[in-house]
Amino acid sequence: MRPFKYQTASTVKDAVSAASNSEGSKFIAGGTNLVDLMKEDVERPAALIDVSRIDLRQVRSEGDSVVIGAMAKNTDTANHPLVRMNFPLLSQAIFAGASAQIRNMATNGGNLMQRTRCVYFYDTSMPCNKREKGSGCAAKEGLNRMHAIFGWSDGCVAVHPSDMCVALAALDAVVSVEGPGGKTRAIPFSEFHRLPGNDPSRDNTLENGDLITSISIPKNKFAGNSYYLKVRDRASYAFALVSVAAALEIAGGKVKDVRIALGGVAHKPWRAKKGRGVSERKSCDK
Amino acid sequence: MRYIGKEMSRVDGVAKVTGRAKYAVEYKVNNPAYGYIVQSTVAKGRISKIDTSKAEKLPGVLKILTHQNALKVEEEGRQFRALQSDNVLFCGQPVALVVADTFEQARYAANLVEIEYAKEEPSTDFSATPRVQTRGPAPRGKPAEEFANSPVKIEAEYSIPIEHHNPMEPHGATAFWEGEKLTVFDKSQGVYGVRGHLARSFNIPEGNINVRSLFVGGAFGSSLNVNYYPFLAALAAREVKRPVKLSLTRRQMFTGHGYRPYTAQKVSIGADESGKLRSIIHEASTNTSSYEEFAEGTTRFGRTLYECPNYDSPYYLLKTDLPTPTWMRAPGAVSGAFAIESAIDELAYELKIDPVELRLINYAEKDPETGKPFSSKALRECFTAGAKKFGWEKRKFAPRSMRDGDLFVGWGTAVGTWGAFQAPATAKIRVRNDGSLLVGSGTTDIGPGTYTVCTIIAAEALGIEPKKIEFVLGDTELPKAPSQGGSITTASVGSAVYGAAGEVRRKLLGLVDKKEGSPLFGAAFEDTELVDGMLRLKSDTSKSMRIVDALKEGGVEYVEVEYQSRPSAERQNYTTMAHGAQFVEVKVDESLGIIKATRVVEATACGRIINPLTSHSQEMGGVVWGIGMALHEATEIDHRYGKMMTTNLADYHVPVSADVFSVETDFVEEKDEIVNELGIKGMGELCLVGIPAAIANAVYHATGKRVRDLPITPDKLL
Ligand SMILES: Cc1cc2nc3c(=O)[nH]c(=O)nc-3n(C[C@H](O)[C@H](O)[C@H](O)COP(=O)(O)OP(=O)(O)OC[C@H]3O[C@@H](n4cnc5c(N)ncnc54)[C@H](O)[C@@H]3O)c2cc1C
Ligand code: SF4
């Protein structure tokens, strides 16, 4: 891989200012995605700012939400009592992804930011608009069995590969971000990732130097009736062909609220809003 | 038998799990440099420009080899040789080798080698490739005519994608020169083949080269033919005058060592209403490269499978701009069996005859091809034992008739066969008067447990506990043995060890049988045996002598023998094969297309079992392999670019533990005195042959859907 500078950041401020001071830099957390991409010469950061030591590893209750730190490991998040009690859907989704070893390294921030697994994106000798603007999309007429069904554009038919994000989309999470100059933002999950449109190079709405600090999930009444289902080519350690995060709030034998999000079908976790209208308020017979 | 047939843990197990066992690029050598291969990004054309100047300026870079400065070697067949010309024959072809102080420096510099190509249109699309017939056996009887006249007919087409071996250990070599002498540690299935190849490449005597392959982290055929990289490692070492370690990355392995070819097959079966087969026409096409013909006899094994008077098995090659395929576990046999054994199942459903029953109706009592008797064939017994263990009699014939809650349950069966081959092999044994014992042969152990079974055979024949025996292999300094492939090793090398032990006994007896007063005075060789560290008379076991005492008596420090075993002439009068009946249960979630192979029973007849433990582990490995082939594995190609795309372990799916459930094995032992003295056949490939078909048949039974193109992924059931 190409040589790069490496520095660690111990606070959010450090990280953000290091990023704005260093051209072509990237944050690195668990490294499970970024290092692979660097080895393949897809990502070529001039500098890495290691954010994994920033103290944003907690999962805590805050008012009506549960807030999970951006640097908390996927495994620790999935196992955390607050997550398991309030959002078993999220635990299931995280455990459906990758392998135990990778989940032990992977962070929540990194999970949101992981890049597509499109084979052409990974191959620098192939046309790919996401990797190299204007070079074309090899997948559109090529190997695209696992690519987008919804929301794709002529420029890119890739999907977002995360399982965790599908649950977060269903649960209406909010992503907290701190950017250059200490500017903070709270981005509703449905607005975090974007569709490819005519700029597939951008997976999400973060700007250069924006650091995800935490993800907060409003408490809800779905815990008793939720499920993450993932269909894949083998029983474990494979990306979703299709996945569904489904949650129902049931009261007095009636469905009060429904959430459905689909994974592996679009450039972002796909909220099925129509399904909602149809099933809501129907009586249910468990 | 004291040791043969008893369970014994792997003698090299501790070394492997503690890291003491060293693999090809793990050897500690002094001041190594590291190589990194640059691969072509186009599939066909010429290199019009190659500029290494930027890469050469990087720190740590020692040398960059390209076709412009690399040693040219004599053409050796049509085998691909690296860096010989500007010709690009496949995508991923090595076009430069960077050698640097560290692996990362070499890898970085590889990115900066600038190459331009004069591109040509590659052709890799199998369906668009004209097929060329290969030479094969003449038809038996009148297959076309008899097929036309048969009252019951099956005609179906099957396909299997390119598959890759994906052993755990990446291919690689460590090479160094000491003056004119070259040493190479290679991941190899046959050290002699590598040595010959290097000798011809550098035009130096074989005696100047030592090739070692002491441990191999799986190879499955991918290291049977000599690959291109050992030469590159040796060449680089000569150029930079330092040891060089060269290892392929996982991605590079996909074009670095060959693969199971793409296979398209058509099976036409004609039968009577009673189920008797009248005619089989089994045709297959497999892909090869543009520069070399690789054929694997896909249609050959079918010819001996059933009693069927009319048979044709045409076989075609498809020339493509891909690298040459190679041997991959049960080459030809498993691909052929997928088609034939699926078609037999289709016939069973056409006739409404139980699939086991149909196979027994057409049981070949003798080789239908040659009329020769089988040296042994306990396939019927395998069916009986396997069906019993599996509970086959509870099977409901109709598809979609068995359920487990929401899941459809399917039970399928298939036959596996593989030849019981043997090749000449030599072993040596040295027994010292301090009681130590060295047994060696230049074979390899790519994982089946050769270290262990050869130790067991030596222990049995020498009457010495296995733990006192050191068995060594994987070194061209040792006597010659065949490459480990074709499931021949135990039969070949085991026989050599056994024979060598007999010669040791003869020598020991020679030391003491002429001395009056010796308990073995005048003893006949045939009446002696080695047991418990003693040489003794069979007829009177009280007449005995410790082996060490015999050596002392004879006044020698040690006796040493080298013995070559050969396949017996008697084998010519027989067909020698191993057989198995394989039973699979699948559970299918039809709404999601998810298939689980929940239960596998393998009943196997492959002669004498030397070590039930390693045999069971071979069989399990074969089953897992078959599950992968049936449900998961595919190397996908983008034909527009002529490039393999799923070239890593995230996109090329092999089964994970969660895909494997119960695997039971049952060995139906055969006493076969014809194959070799110990009655050993092979099993490492046999165990896999019927599995993909059995799974596909089970999926049909579960769902009523016949999937004829592998792998059976969820989308194919929806
Ligand atoms: C073989 C394999 C299989 C996998 N299978 C699955 C699967 O089935 N399902 C699934 O969901 N995932 C899967 N993954 C992906 C895995 O979940 C991600 O690699 C992981 O979540 C990334 O987290 P990380 O901390 O290692 O990120 P890194 O690799 O460190 O970083 C990834 C990206 O995120 C950026 N980044 C990291 N932290 C922050 C932050 N706080 N703010 C802003 N940017 C940040 C980095 O700059 C980088 O661009 C798989 C990965 C592998 C290698
Ligand atoms: S789908 Fe997107 S990521 Fe894949 S090749 Fe096209 S542009 Fe690149």
* Residue among A2, A58, A211 at smallest CA distance from B58: A2
| B525, two tokens | 């060789």
Supply B456's token pair.
Answer: 């067991």
pLDDT of residue B310: 98
Are the C-beta atoms of residues B504 and B497 closer than 8 Å to each other?
no
Average pLDDT on B401-423 reads 98
CA distance A146 to B639: 18
Tokens of B56: 């050469």
Residue B6, burial from CB neighbour count under 10 angstroms (0-12, 13-18, 19+):
middle
With contact defined as beta carbons under 8 Å apart, do B465 and B504 qualify?
Answer: no
HSE of A230, CA atoms in CB hemisphere, 13 A: 28
pLDDT in tens, B123-166: 999 999 999 999 999 999 999 999 999 999 999 999 999 999 99
Q: Is A258 in the pocket of ligand 1 (CB under 6 A)?
A: no
Measured from the CA of A163, which atom of ligand 1 is nearest?
11
Mean pLDDT of chain B: 97
**Ligand 2 pocket residue status of A161, Cβ below 6 Å:** no
Alpha carbon distances (Å) from B430 to A281, B225, B455, B498, B505: 85, 31, 14, 13, 11
- How many other C-beta atoms are found inside a 10 Å radius of the C-beta of residue B262? 26
Q: For residue B703, which of B629, B621, B592, B626 has the smallest C-alpha distance?
A: B592
| Percent of the residues in chain B that have a pLDDT greater than 90, as a whole number | 98
Class of domain B422-571: alpha beta
pLDDT above 70 for B268: yes
Average pLDDT rounded to a whole number, residues B506-535:
95
Q: Ligand 2: which of A115, A123, A125, A128 to mutate, judged by most atoms within 8 Å of the beta carbon? A: A128
Tell me the backbone φ, ψ of residue B110, rounded to 5 degrees: -60, -35
In the block, which residue shows the tokens 């009329």?
B371
Q: How far apart are CA B202 and CA B199, in angstroms?
A: 5
Q: What is the pLDDT of residue B74?
A: 82
Q: Return d(Cα A161, Cα B302) in angstroms, integer.
A: 44
For residues B647 and B170, give the distance between their C-alpha atoms in angstroms, rounded to a whole number: 13
pLDDT at A1: 86
CB atoms within 10 A of CB B59: 11
Three-state SS letters, A161-194: CCCHHHHHHHCCCEEEEEEHHHEEEEEEHHHHEC
Omega within 30 of 0 (cis) for the link into B711: yes
- Give the per-residue pLDDT at A282: 57
Q: Does B412 touch chain A (CB under 8 A)?
A: no
Q: How far is CA B434 from CA B437, B468, B512, B546, in A?
A: 9, 11, 18, 12
Q: Are strands B643-644 and B315-319 parallel, antiparallel or unpaired?
A: unpaired
Cα-to-centroid distance, A61 and ligand 1 (Å): 25
Residues of A within 8 A of B36 (CB-CB) are none
Give the per-residue pLDDT at A187.
98
The yes-or-no answer on residue B516 being catalytic is no
pLDDT mean over B352-378? 98
pLDDT at A276 over 80: no
DSSP 3-state of A153: strand
Which among B417, B427, B557 has a CA at the least distance from the CA of B479?
Answer: B427
pTM of the entire predicted model: 0.97
The SS3 call for residue B202 is: helix
What one-character DSSP code corresponds to residue B207?
Answer: G
The pLDDT value given to residue A103: 98
Whether the Cβ atoms of residue A163 and residue A263 lie closer than 8 Å to each other: yes
CATH tag, B31-119: 3.90.1170.50
Q: How many CB pairs under 8 A join A and B?
A: 63
Distance A27 CA to ligand 2 centre (A): 23
Q: What is the tens place of the pLDDT at every residue in A206-256?
A: 999 999 999 999 999 999 999 999 999 999 999 999 999 999 999 999 999
Is the pLDDT at B570 greater than 50? The verdict is yes
In this predicted structure, the answer to whether residue A278 has a pLDDT above a threshold of 70 is no
Q: A63: which 2 tokens?
A: 């008012």
Look at residue B657 and give its three-state secondary structure. helix
Which of A43, A115, A116, when mutated, tests ligand 2's pocket best, judged by the most ligand atoms within 8 Å of its CB?
Answer: A116
Closest C-alpha residue for ligand 2 atom 8: A128
Averaged pLDDT, B440-457: 97
Note the residue count of chain A: 286
| pLDDT at residue A9 is higher than 50 | yes
Query: Residue A153 above 60 pLDDT?
Result: yes
pLDDT of B77:
74
Give residue A283's pLDDT.
Answer: 57
Structural domains in chain A plus CATH codes: 55-279 (3.30.465.10)
Given a cut of 80, whether residue B423 has pLDDT beyond it is yes
Question: What is residue B262's three-state secondary structure?
Answer: coil
d(CA B264, CA B320): 14
Per CATH, the number for B263-421+572-717 is: 3.30.365.10
Residues of chain B positioned with their CB less than 8 A from the CB of A145: 715
Q: Which of A2, A142, A233 sits opposite B638 (nearest CB)?
A: A142
CA distance, residue A120 to nearest chain B CA (Å)? 8
Beta strands in B130-256 (DSSP E): 131-133, 152-160, 172-178, 181-186, 209-212, 244-247
Is B168 in CB contact (< 8 Å) with chain A? no
- State the residue for tokens 């076309």: B144
b/e per residue, B379-406, with b = 16+ CB within 10 A?
bbbbbbbbbeebebeebeeebbebeeee
Q: How far apart, in whole angstroms, are the C-alpha atoms of residue B694 and residue B714?
A: 18
Rounded distance between C-alpha atoms, residue B466 and residue B11, angstroms: 9
Tell which atom from ligand 2 comes closest to the C-alpha of A129: 7
Chain B residue numbers with beta carbons less than 8 Å from the beta carbon of A229 are 592
**Amino acid identity at B218:** G
- Average pLDDT of span B372-381: 98
User: In which band, very low, low, confident or very high, does the pLDDT at A274 lie, cut at 50, 70 and 90?
Assistant: low
Q: ipTM score of the complex?
A: 0.95
Interface contact flag, A1 B651, Cβ < 8 Å: no
B146, B296, B670, B685: the catalytic one is B685
Question: Sign of torsion, CA A3 A7 A8 A12?
Answer: negative
Residue A138 CB less than 6 A away from ligand 2:
yes
pLDDT per residue over B1-55, tens digit each? 999 999 999 999 999 999 999 999 999 999 999 999 999 999 999 999 999 999 9
CB-CB contact of B421 with B606 (8 Å): no
Partner-chain contact B593 A234, CB within 8 Å: no
Q: Establish whether residue A118 lines the binding site of ligand 2, counting it when its CB lies within 6 angstroms of any ligand atom.
A: yes
Average pLDDT of span A1-24: 94
Interface test with A, best of B57, B590, B656, B695 (most A CBs within 10 A): B656
Q: Are A11 and A54 in contact (CB under 8 A)?
A: yes
What mean pLDDT is predicted for residues A80-102? 98
Residue for token digits 């060598």? Answer: B500
Contact B246, B229 (CB under 8 A): yes
Residue closest to A235 by CA, chosen among B472, B146, B656: B656
* Contact in structure between B594 and B713 (CB atoms under 8 Å): no
Which amino acid, residue B203? N
- For the cut 70, the answer to whether the pLDDT of residue B398 exceeds it is yes
pLDDT at A55 over 80: yes
pLDDT value, residue A286: 39
pLDDT band at residue A281, thresholds of 50, 70 and 90?
low
Does residue A60 carry a pLDDT above 50?
A: yes
Whole-angstrom Cα distance, residue B633 to residue B162?
8
Q: Residue-wise over A175-202: b if at least 16 C-beta within 10 A, else e?
A: bbbbbeeeeeeebebbebbbbbeeebee
Residue closest by Cα to atom 28 of ligand 1: A31
Whole-number Å distance, alpha carbon B714 to ligand 2 midpoint, is: 24
Which ligand is located closest to the Cα atom of residue A199?
2
Cβ–Cβ below 8 Å for B659 and A239: no
Q: Phi/psi of residue B369, each to 5°?
A: -85, -45
Q: How many CB atoms lie within 10 A of CB B609?
A: 24
Q: Which residues touch A137 (CB under 8 Å, ≥6 apart)?
A: A120, A127, A128, A129, A154, A155, A156, A157, A200
Q: Is the CB of A263 under 6 A from ligand 1?
A: no
Tell me how far the alpha carbon of residue B113 is from its chain's centroid. Answer: 37
Element (H, E) at B198: helix B191-202
Minimal Cβ distance to B592: which of A120, A125, A231: A231
- Cα distance between residue B81 and residue B95, in whole Å: 11
Residues of chain B with CATH 3.30.365.10: 263-421+572-717, 422-571
Whether pLDDT at A95 is above 60: yes
Amino acid letter at A99? S
* Cβ-based neighbour number of residue A50 at 10 Å: 17
3-state helix, strand and coil shares in percent for chain B, rounded to the nearest 5: 30, 25, 45
Is B445 strand, coil or helix?
A: coil
The B577-589 sheet, strands edge to edge:
B403-404, B407-419, B577-589, B594-605, B662-667
Q: Are the C-beta atoms of B691 and B581 separated by less than 8 Å?
A: no
Kindly list the distances between the CA atom of residue B505 and the CA atoms of B423, B513, B679, in Å, as whole numbers in the listed order: 24, 12, 21
Query: Which residues in chain B are classed under CATH 3.90.1170.50?
Result: 31-119
Q: Residue range B91-103: average pLDDT?
A: 98
